[in-house]
Structure 1
Amino acid sequence: MDDRGEKAVESQRAARDAEGQRPPSSHEKDGVELNSNPNPQLFVVQDDGQPPSEEKSDAESGRAVTLMGDEMYPEGGLEAWLVVFGSWCGLTASLGLMNTIAIFQTYVSTHQLLGYSEGSVGWIFSVYTALCFFCGIYIGPLFDKYGPRWLIGSGSVIVVAGVMIMSICTQYWHFMLCFGILNGVGSSLLFTPSITAVGHYFRKRRGLASGLASTGGGVGGVIFPLMLQTLFERVGWAWAIRSLGFLCLFLLIFANLLIKKRLPPAKNASAHPDFKIFKEKAFLLLTIGVFMLEFGLFIPLAYISSYALASGFDETFAFQILPILNAASVLGRALPGWWADRIGPFNTNMLSIGVTIFACYVVWLPFGRTMPGLVVFAVLFGFATGNNISITPVCVGRLCHTQHYGRYYATCYTVVSVACLIGIPVGGSIVAAAGGDYWALIVFTGLTQVLSVAAIYAAKGVSVGWKPWTNF
């Protein structure tokens, strides 16, 4: 090489160093560890019209805007695990309320709202679950751009205030406004950042970390119903609900102190949603699969206590069956997260949905009117759906760049929120159409899960091929 060639090489190296670029380390070259998808360029959302070379750095600020292959993750350490604990506290307060809706529905249907049908009361809790996911259409992008501080703080104030006000509700519109709308928005402000923040600290171990954080929803789903069942008898509705509000306040103090983001926003980060990402076939199919999954998920969560009462069990057992389901979901959120890091989140999700289908058609339908049958169903359903709740965000993360994780996750669950909105009332209408019998509801729940596993397998197929044993 002549002198001019050597000078040209040196000039290129100097330009690269000035732009904040560097050769990848040996760890970053491991595409299996840092990027499970062999085509990371598919995950870069370029909506500002800039050429690819300008996506990599910001010359004015000097801040590197990393691409998928350049990202480094702590994968542990004190700060990372404190974020997981903060997320656990936030999810205990938000998903814990969501996993207690069967108790709320059963109690108010037989007390304050005695004159209303199951389907009418179900709309209150459908609006709540729908808003928990729908509001993420802006909360996810806001997290990507600005971080979690104001989101978590606002959500904490709204949830605690909503629970406290619910203690004095007596009319249908009181419950709809207070729990359905107010708590729905507040829980969304907590739920989305709590899930998304974990992804900023883990990639190889994201399944385990997300699973551990999401066990908070299962723990809340055990503690809240048992606490309320005891307090309803001792101090009545008002002070039972206020006690729940104080417990949420305690948990959310830790969430506000510990949840934070690590990666800087992407150069083209925006606080607005972007539905153009549905052009990616794998993401579209995954969203359809999650839609059907959530459509069927909340039906047993909302109606299992009512089903127990209709099957002749006493009120004590009807209230206790929900904590049994949620206790099983704690294991279902933690253990499959560990498996997902080894066999892939899509595979783990599909296996869990298979368990859900088995639980509906082989256990609940023929044996649900017996105590052992209903308990076995609750354990199987809780374990399987606990995995789905914790691993579905990891599946979304497999299809996007981490700095756009909040946007992809929020866009997916904005569509899914429609399923949450109509699922519980549809379930009530099916029960009414069957003359108060629940067999049609069980068949319908199982069918939603069959359609879900088919769509998720199709999403995997278009991403990495159709071999069922492929790790993805």
Structure 2
Amino acid sequence: MDDIEKAEHFPQSPVAETPSSAYLEKDQGYFDANQKPDLFAQDDGQAVDKTNTNTGRETLLGDETYPEGGLEAWIVVFGSWCGLLASLGLMNSIATLQTYVATHQLSNYDEGTVGWIFSLYTALCFLCGVYIGPLFDKYGPRWLVGPGGIIVVASVMLLSICTEYWHFMLSWGILNGIATSFLFTPCLTAIGHFFHDRRGFASGLASTGGGLGGVIFPLLMQSLFDKVGWGWTIRILGFICLFLLTFASLLVKRRLPPAQNASPHPDFRILKEKAFLLLTIGVFFLEFGLLIPLGYISSYALANGFSEDFSFQILPILNAASVFGRALPGWWADKIGPFNTNMLSLCGTIIACYVVWLPFGHTTPGLVLFAVMFGFSTGNNISITPVCVGRLCQTQHYGRYYATCYTIVSIAVLLGLPVAGTIVKATGGSYWGLIVFTGLTQVISVVAMYAARAEKVGWSLKANF
């Protein structure tokens, strides 16, 4: 890791795509233009080869090019889509699961206590990525996606027979949380090995799987709970996940070889890069607020007098909007830049919280409009944030940067639902404090992301980044 310290002595270009702590292959400690006449050094100290005549863009690490499509690349996107439909589909269904469990098996526990189960689950999805990302960079996805899929299916099957608090905490909060981390990072990171110019679009398409799962799974559970009961409803969900994760384990793969100095161990020294640190802070608050409506929108609807059917259906509405929010802005991100797209979407979530949810959430049109606006905006944030991380590193180290960012973020998702439950309790069961807090997290996030963007391209809003 001496490369990081050496590269810090080079001044940064305001338009560089990657950070100054670039790692170079072929045993290069740092770039020397005299040693490599076919490369030229940019002013951020990175080695970049001549423009690729087919794509018109520059490639990193001398021979790093991207197919930007083709059968193999789109098969990987499909495999990632299947993996994310199962893993993030379950994550996007936590409001249905939490509301059902809180009113049935764990009805003698308060909402904040039940929320810890699902917060721990979400936190472990990200926290365990501190090793999953480097392991992907070093060894690829084969030994991550397969075992992760098996454990996810096992945890869902165990969930179907849970009756006590500690049962839910172990089977869902801990086991499923750890297993999902084996899927989450590789499925998103593998796409970066096949796409660069179209990475936002490809990542967005794959991420629609998570949004679609968040539509299908809650509606399926709502339909089956009264017909076959909790146990068989969850088992059917498990069999669906088994089918999807089989495809993911067979189709998700990497293309680029690992860098020679790739290590399976995390390295938090990359947080010395100011732009990456600021982006991590932005994602921290983005995720802190993002999961609160996912976990509490059904409870909010019940508390405000809506029917139980509508209260369960509002989450699929939010997730349906998220599907479009993951796909369409991915194309925009390739045109105007992922940071710009993310900041616009964050402004959308702020408006959704303060202009729609807070004053009009107690009405049916107001709550539906909020679900659509928040779902669309956060769908973009979920799919484009990994692309923002990719703008700050080279592809061979994408897993390490991505995992480091989301390891920090795991603290936010661990605290999000319990803090929200505490706020609801402190306001006497009213949700206005929760809404204000959710909007505030998004305000802090957009400020941090703007500052991270400014580190690379300056404060001008016109820059494509």
2:56 corresponds to which residue?
none
2:124 corresponds to which residue?
131
Pick from 289, 294, 299 the counterpart of residue 292 of structure 2: 299
Pick from 94, 104, 107 the counterpart of residue 97 of structure 2: 104
1:225 corresponds to which residue?
218
Pick from 324, 343, 346 the counterpart of residue 317 of structure 2: 324
Please give the alpha-carbon distance, in whole angstroms, between the structure 2 residues aligned to 1:245 and 1:52: 49
2:39 corresponds to which residue?
none
Please give the alpha-carbon distance, in whole angstroms, between the structure 1 residues aligned to 2:383 and 2:270: 22
Residue identity opposite 2:146 in structure 1: G
Rg: which structure is higher? 1
Pick from 444, 450, 453 the counterpart of residue 451 of structure 1: 444
Please give the alpha-carbon distance, in whole angstroms, between the structure 1 residues aligned to 2:96 and 2:19: 47
CA RMSD of aligned residues (A): 2.0
Instruction: Look up the SS of the partner of 1:469 in the other structure.
Output: coil
Q: Is it true that 1:267 corresponds to 2:245 in the alignment?
A: no
Please give the alpha-carbon distance, in whole angstroms, between the structure 1 residues aligned to 2:82 and 2:18: 33
Note the C-alpha offset of 1:42.
1.6
2:23 corresponds to which residue?
45
Please give the alpha-carbon distance, in whole angstroms, between the structure 1 residues aligned to 2:19 and 2:83: 33
After superposition, the Cα gap between the structure-2 partners of 1:140 and 1:91, relative to the gap in structure 1 and judged at 3 Å, is: same
Residue identity opposite 2:16 in structure 1: P
1:402 corresponds to which residue?
395
Note the C-alpha offset of 1:51.
2.3
2:418 corresponds to which residue?
425
Residues 409-420 of structure 1 mapped to structure 2, 5 A cutoff: 409-420=402-413
Please give the alpha-carbon distance, in whole angstroms, between the structure 2 residues aligned to 1:263 and 1:337: 23
After superposition, the Cα gap between the structure-2 partners of 1:197 and 1:145, relative to the gap in structure 1 and judged at 3 Å, is: same
Residues 127-176 of structure 1: CA distance to partner in whole angstroms, max 9, x if unpaired? 00000000000000000000000100110110000000100000000000
Please give the alpha-carbon distance, in whole angstroms, between the structure 2 residues aligned to 1:43 and 1:74: 26
Q: Is it true that 1:186 corresponds to 2:164 in the alignment?
A: no
Residues 431-470 of structure 1 mapped to structure 2, 5 A cutoff: 431-470=424-463
Note the C-alpha offset of 1:469.
1.6
2:109 corresponds to which residue?
116
Please give the alpha-carbon distance, in whole angstroms, between the structure 2 residues aligned to 1:330 and 1:421: 24
Q: Is it true that 1:78 corresponds to 2:71 in the alignment?
A: yes
Q: Is it true that 1:288 corresponds to 2:266 in the alignment?
A: no
The 10-residue stretch of structure 1 (66-75 or 386-395) with the greater mean CA deviation from structure 2: 66-75
Note the C-alpha offset of 1:49.
9.2
2:249 corresponds to which residue?
256
Q: Residue 101 of structure 1 contacts residue 301 of structure 1 at CA under 8 Å; is this kept in 2?
A: yes
After superposition, the Cα gap between the structure-2 partners of 1:262 and 1:46, relative to the gap in structure 1 and judged at 3 Å, is: closer
After superposition, the Cα gap between the structure-2 partners of 1:289 and 1:47, relative to the gap in structure 1 and judged at 3 Å, is: farther
2:45 corresponds to which residue?
none
Residues 445-465 of structure 1: CA distance to partner in whole angstroms, max 9, x if unpaired? 000000000000000001111
Number of paired residues? 431
Note the C-alpha offset of 1:200.
0.3
Q: Residue 211 of structure 1 contacts residue 336 of structure 1 at CA under 8 Å; is this kept in 2?
A: yes
1:5 corresponds to which residue?
none
Please give the alpha-carbon distance, in whole angstroms, between the structure 2 residues aligned to 1:386 and 1:36: 29
1:161 corresponds to which residue?
154
Q: Residue 90 of structure 1 contacts residue 252 of structure 1 at CA under 8 Å; is this kept in 2?
A: yes
Instruction: Look up the SS of the partner of 1:112 in the other structure.
Output: coil
Residue identity opposite 2:338 in structure 1: P
Please give the alpha-carbon distance, in whole angstroms, between the structure 1 residues aligned to 2:176 and 2:448: 31
Note the C-alpha offset of 1:47.
12
Please give the alpha-carbon distance, in whole angstroms, between the structure 2 residues aligned to 1:290 and 1:46: 27
Q: Residue 19 of structure 2 contacts residue 273 of structure 2 at CA under 8 Å; is this kept in 1?
A: no
Please give the alpha-carbon distance, in whole angstroms, between the structure 2 residues aligned to 1:240 and 1:279: 47
Note the C-alpha offset of 1:68.
4.1
Note the C-alpha offset of 1:45.
3.3
Residues 145-160 of structure 1 mapped to structure 2, 5 A cutoff: 145-160=138-153
Residue identity opposite 1:169 in structure 2: C
In structure 1, runs of 5+ residues without a counterpart are: 1-34, 58-64
Please give the alpha-carbon distance, in whole angstroms, between the structure 1 residues aligned to 2:364 and 2:17: 51
Residue identity opposite 2:235 in structure 1: R
Residues 33-67 of structure 1: CA distance to partner in whole angstroms, max 9, x if unpaired? xx99537572413799962269x99xxxxxxx994
Q: Residue 37 of structure 1 contacts residue 398 of structure 1 at CA under 8 Å; is this kept in 2?
A: no
After superposition, the Cα gap between the structure-2 partners of 1:455 and 1:337, relative to the gap in structure 1 and judged at 3 Å, is: same
Q: Residue 19 of structure 2 contacts residue 392 of structure 2 at CA under 8 Å; is this kept in 1?
A: no
1:379 corresponds to which residue?
372
After superposition, the Cα gap between the structure-2 partners of 1:454 and 1:93, relative to the gap in structure 1 and judged at 3 Å, is: same
2:9 corresponds to which residue?
none
Q: Residue 346 of structure 2 contacts residue 442 of structure 2 at CA under 8 Å; is this kept in 1?
A: yes
Please give the alpha-carbon distance, in whole angstroms, between the structure 2 residues aligned to 1:39 and 1:155: 32
2:302 corresponds to which residue?
309
Residue identity opposite 1:92 in structure 2: L
